Amino acid sequence: MAKTIAAVATGNIAAGISVIRISGERAIEIAEKVFSAFDCTPLSSLKGYTAKYGCVSTGGESFDNAVALVFRAPKSYTGEDVVEISVHGGIFIVEKTLQAVFDAGASPAEAGEFTKRAFLNGKIDLTQAESVAEMISAQGQEALRASYSMLQGSLSSKISAVLDSLIDCSASMAAWVDYPDEEIPELSEENLTATLENAKADLQQLIDSYENGIIMTQGVDTAIVGKPNAGKSTLMNMLAGQEKSIVTHIEGTTRDIVENTVRLGSLVLHLSDTAGIRESDDLVEAIGIKRAEEKLKNAQLVLAVFDSSSPLSREDEMLIEQCSGKRCIAVINKTDLETESDIEMIKNRFETVVEISAKNGEGADKLEAAIKNVLGVKQLDTAQPLLANQRQRQCVSNALDRINEALDGVNLGITRDAVNVMIDSAVDELLALTGKKATEEVVNNIFSRFCVGK
């Protein structure tokens, strides 16, 4: 019999209410030793989805009012009997309740163990389990939408459809090869090729949307660069809505890199406000400038800031050179002041130019639209099936390789047996993705990244 486990499902901070979750065959019996309903109904007499108001106690002394919610297997998160006890969310109360639950016979849950049990009991597949972790760490609307869509099974359904078509194809080929005396019709080459081409297109589409999906959900590494005093820190503050970089009139104050994660509409940007790029004799500033150049090189997106109120300088020219070949937006700042800069020249050198006044907080909408355009994520619907991580991408990519081999094999006229081996390998890769054939090591690795109580 698997151990009955317990953990705090809510965070380890003082809160209005905290929930202690117990799961396993003995969940109800253990909860009854800690919780008593005020109307004296034993929890063991309750149907699933029933709550009772009462109190929690230990050593014969009650110490808080509480609500116990009973779920009956298999209709619970884990697929086992579950009791959730809600107590007032004081850290001491929660610890005391959890200890009482352990004293009554429960074992401490490991990281991700509730979700792992849900997976092992067939309540969710591996992609849905991963989506739980993604939802918990979602920092913005698109990340939440994508992970919720995966939790609802959008990726699983897409993969299942591909799997069904491949398995059908493989089964009819195997039957034809294995039972030559039966009158099983041979799968025509057109049908076989069409099935493989369809599977290839579906998987290729998942791979193609991976990079943009990650950008939309996990955020974009964005470097803010520009000459000293162009308004980089002010732009960062405008986006962050708070004073993080120090804004001053003295050139060269942002000596090193200040990082901040901000939401711009539906996008998440991991911003680095860098030292102004210029030639400098100051050793410390020179190190900052070197790091700024590194950031510029490695960032997924560059916001090159120009001061519209001062003429273009040598530093601006240097920056324009450094931005070539990067995904970059020229941000012409200080539009509230008289124009002294050669805006036309900047417009000629950059594909995307946005004019803003960072100080007055004007232009954030235009900047968001421009960023989406430059990243090519404007059309991406995060509610559609998307791959969420490198593991999933690798499984799909391996399956695609096997399907391409099978297609080449069909074209070269190799035996159906050999084609079938390749299709079976593609099937195995997709079953590893959904978890039906994932190794124990992969499964343990995924759940070890969860927190305790999830």
For ligand GDP, the closer of residues 47 and 249 by Cβ is 249
Burial class (CB in 10 A: 0-12, 13-18, 19+), 183: exposed
What CA–CA distance (Å, rounded) separates 319 from 315? 6
For ligand GDP, the closer of residues 236 and 377 by Cβ is 236
Q: Which residues of 286-315 are buried (b: 16+ CB within 10 A; e: fewer)?
A: eebbebbbebbeebbbbbbbbbbbbebeeb
Asked if 382 touches ligand GDP (CB under 6 A), the answer is no
Asked if 333 touches ligand GDP (CB under 6 A), the answer is yes
For residue 224 the two structure tokens come to 């803010």
Are the C-beta atoms of residues 448 and 111 closer than 8 Å to each other?
yes
Q: Smallest Cα–Cα separation from 375: which of 453, 266, 286? A: 266
Are the C-beta atoms of residues 188 and 398 closer than 8 Å to each other?
no
Asked if 278 touches ligand GDP (CB under 6 A), the answer is no
Strand order in the sheet with 353-355: 258-264, 267-273, 220-226, 301-307, 328-333, 353-355
Asked if 230 touches ligand GDP (CB under 6 A), the answer is yes
CB of 365 to ligand GDP, least distance (A): 16
Contact window for ligand GDP (CB under 6 A) among 88-96, 160-168, 226-234, 311-319? 226-234
Asked if 47 touches ligand GDP (CB under 6 A), the answer is no
Asked if 359 touches ligand GDP (CB under 6 A), the answer is yes
Footprint on residues 96-125 left by ligand GDP (CB under 6 A): none
CB of 335 to ligand GDP, least distance (A): 7
Residue type, position 431, single letter:
L
Asked if 372 touches ligand GDP (CB under 6 A), the answer is no
Asked if 247 touches ligand GDP (CB under 6 A), the answer is yes
Asked if 435 touches ligand GDP (CB under 6 A), the answer is no
Strand 258-264 to strand 267-273: parallel, antiparallel, or no bridges (unpaired)?
antiparallel
Are the C-beta atoms of residues 121 and 79 closer than 8 Å to each other?
yes
For ligand GDP, the closer of residues 272 and 357 by Cβ is 357
What CA–CA distance (Å, rounded) separates 100 from 94? 10
Asked if 131 touches ligand GDP (CB under 6 A), the answer is no
CB of 233 to ligand GDP, least distance (A): 3
What CA–CA distance (Å, rounded) separates 68 from 38? 11
In the list 95, 197, 208, 336, the residue contacting ligand GDP (rule: CB under 6 A) is: 336
Asked if 249 touches ligand GDP (CB under 6 A), the answer is yes
Q: Is the four-CA dihedral 44, 49, 54, 58 of positive or negative sign? A: positive
In the list 54, 140, 228, 435, the residue contacting ligand GDP (rule: CB under 6 A) is: 228
For ligand GDP, the closer of residues 152 and 360 by Cβ is 360
CB of 101 to ligand GDP, least distance (A): 54
Asked if 233 touches ligand GDP (CB under 6 A), the answer is yes
Whether residue 74 has a cis bond before it, omega within 30° of 0 = yes
Contact window for ligand GDP (CB under 6 A) among 88-96, 98-106, 323-331, 351-359? 351-359
Are the C-beta atoms of residues 38 and 68 closer than 8 Å to each other?
no
In the list 116, 145, 232, 295, the residue contacting ligand GDP (rule: CB under 6 A) is: 232
Contact window for ligand GDP (CB under 6 A) among 163-171, 172-180, 196-204, 332-340? 332-340
3-state secondary structure at position 19: strand
Interacting residues with ligand GDP (CB under 6 A): 226, 228-234, 247-249, 254, 276, 333-334, 336-337, 357-359
